[in-house]
Structure 1
Amino acid sequence: MFNGILLAIFNFAVKYYNLPFNPVARVGSIGKNKGTSMDFWTLEEYKQFIACVDEPIYKMIFELLFFTGLRCGELLALTYNDINIKKGILTVNKNLAKVKGKTIIQTPKTANSRRKITLPRFVVEHLQEYVKLLYGYKPSDRLFLVDKYALSRMMNKYSELSGVKKKLECMICDTHTQAY
């Protein structure tokens, strides 16, 4: 999109202001020409994987990641207040990030990142059960007090135990390109 706008501006300058050539046309596109493909788990692969997860926190995390498509930072910023239990709606309105070694909660980078996701009823029920396990929990507290690196370690552990290929890396660590 950005490339197209620049191309149009410089074409206008070539045509009406005697710019000798369009530099955008010479340089080519900014960024990738093609989006990378994503490799998703099938439901069968997910079931095989989740059957090996024996820790309630990670069982809930991986269930939410699979059934919602949340990004890791969005998931880690979630509070119980973000979930309308009666309607089964999860509201994405914040993101957890590390800035200069400090963990912060920030607003999503784009307006499109703010969204509402309908949850399957069983996920809502599992969330209710999970919250009951949390000692002294307040609905405004984060649901998952782990970091991306712990998630990556657990994904590796349970992928290996289950024999299911890991496909969550882009959500776990910003340097990877595969998706869940």
Structure 2
Amino acid sequence: MASACGGFGLLYWTGIRCGELLALTPSDFMLESSRLRINKSYQSLRGVDTVTDPKTPKSVRTIVMPAFLRDGMADFIEMRDDVAPDERLFAVTKHFLAHEAVDITYRYAHLFPTKQDEMAAALDGARG
């Protein structure tokens, strides 16, 4: 499912920040429970790839993924068998991704932590 997998799909469907996406490793995906652990952020500091703690303590969270996104990411991770469980899954920089538009910001699922299961089910239903 090409439209649901990969970095742009994760940004769109989950609303995670670019730095959070770029810090993800395969071990951050808890595919059996359709969850994604966000606990670090990527930055390029003076040309050096650096993974740091997130912006704020509230940024550490677990996101529920809709089934179609979980399945797409499972396929994507399997395809990336060259990446170890603790290595960055998306080896690009923030300049490659840019999601500055306010409409994407409003999709941040962590703003509605008690509604994540409902939102994931609704997204699955909407996709058919």
- Indicate whether the TM-score tops 0.5: yes
Matched with 2:15 is 69
* Residue 51 of structure 2 corresponds to residue 105 of structure 1: yes
Give SS of 2:75's match: helix
Residue 142 of structure 1: aligned partner = 88
Letter in 2 for 1:114: V
Higher-strand-fraction structure: 2
- The 1-side partners of 2:93 and 2:39 are apart by 19
Q: Could you say which residue in structure 1 is the equivalent of 2:74? A: 128
Which amino acid in the other structure matches residue 57 of structure 2?
Answer: A
Q: Structure 1 residue runs of 4+, over 4 Å off?
A: none
- Residue 114 (structure 1) aligned with residue 45 (structure 2): no
Secondary structure of 1:116's match? Answer: strand
Q: Could you say which structure has the larger radius of gyration?
A: 1
- Among 88, 94, 100, which residue is 1:169 paired with? 100
Inter-partner Cα distance in structure 1 for 2:50 and 2:103: 24
Counterpart Cα distance in 2 of 1:127 and 1:133: 10
**Aligned partner of 2:60: which letter?**
R
Aligned counterparts of 2:24 and 2:54: Cα–Cα separation in 1:
12
TM-score (norm 2): 0.72
How far, CA to CA, are the matches of 2:33 and 2:19 in structure 1?
Answer: 24
Extract unaligned runs of 5+ from structure 2: 105-128
> How many matched pairs?
103
**RMSD of aligned Cα (Å):** 2.0
Once residues 94 and 8 of structure 2 are traced to their aligned partners in structure 1, the CA distance between those partners, rounded to angstroms, is: 13
Deviations 1:24-63 (A, max 9, x none): xxxxxxxxxxxxxxxxxxxxxxxxxx86xxxx9xx51111
1:90 Cα offset (Å)? 0.6
**Larger RCO: Structure 1 or Structure 2 (Cα < 8 Å, ≥ 6 residues apart)?**
2
Distance 1:98 1:134, change over 3 A: same
Q: Separation in 2 of the partners of 1:97 and 1:66?
A: 20
Cα separation, 1, equivalents of 2:78 and 2:44: 28
Evaluate the alpha carbon distance shift between residue 101 and residue 137 of structure 1 in structure 2; reply closer, same or farther with a 3 A threshold: closer
Unmatched 5+ residue regions in structure 1? 1-49, 153-167, 171-177
